[in-house]
Amino acid sequence: MEDHQSCGGKAQFSRAHVEKIPAQEGHIVQKPNVLITGAAGFIGSHLCERLLSEGWTVMGVDNFDDFYDPKIKRQNIADCLKNKNFRLIEADVRDEAAMDKVCSSGVEAVIHLAAKAGVRPSIAQPLLYADVNVSGTVTLLEAARKSRIDKFVFGSSSSVYGNNRKLPFAEDDNVDFPVSPYAATKKAGELICHTYYHLYGIRATCLRFFTVYGPRQRPDLAIHKFARLIERGRPIPVYGDGTMMRDFTYIDDIIDGTVAAIEQLITWHRGSAEQTAAFQIYNLGESRPLTVNELVAELEKALGKKAVKTHVPPQPGDVERTYADITKAARELGYNPTTPIQTGLARFVTWLRSTPDIM
Binding site for ligand NAD (CB under 6 A): 37-38, 40-44, 61-65, 67, 73, 92-94, 113-117, 132, 136, 155, 157, 209, 211-212, 218
Q: In Å, how far are 47, 48, 197, 244, 288 from 125, measured between CA atoms?
A: 28, 29, 30, 24, 32
Q: Is 182 a catalytic site residue?
A: yes
Query: CA 253 to CA 259: how far, in whole Å?
Result: 10
Query: Nearer Cβ to ligand NAD, position 157 or 280?
Result: 157
Query: CA 276 to CA 278: how far, in whole Å?
Result: 6
Query: CA 232 to CA 222: how far, in whole Å?
Result: 15
CB of 116 to ligand NAD, least distance (A): 6
Name residue 143's amino acid: A
Phi and psi (nearest 5°) for 338? -125, 5
Of 129, 161, 182, 196, which is the active-site residue?
182
The DSSP call for residue 133 is I
Query: CA 135 to CA 53: how far, in whole Å?
Result: 32
Cβ-based neighbour number of residue 177 at 10 Å: 13
CB of 225 to ligand NAD, least distance (A): 13
Cβ-based neighbour number of residue 262 at 10 Å: 25
The number of angstroms, rounded, from the C-alpha of 221 to the middle of its chain's C-alpha atoms is: 14
Of how many residues is the chain composed? 359
- Tell me the pairing of strands 86-90 and 57-62: parallel
CB of 308 to ligand NAD, least distance (A): 25
- Tell me the pairing of strands 19-20 and 309-312: unpaired
CB of 26 to ligand NAD, least distance (A): 27
The number of angstroms, rounded, from the C-alpha of 201 to the middle of its chain's C-alpha atoms is: 24
For residue 62, what are the β-bridge partners? 90
Query: CA 169 to CA 210: how far, in whole Å?
Result: 11
Query: Nearer Cβ to ligand NAD, position 90 or 332?
Result: 90
Which active-site residues does the annotation give?
A: 182
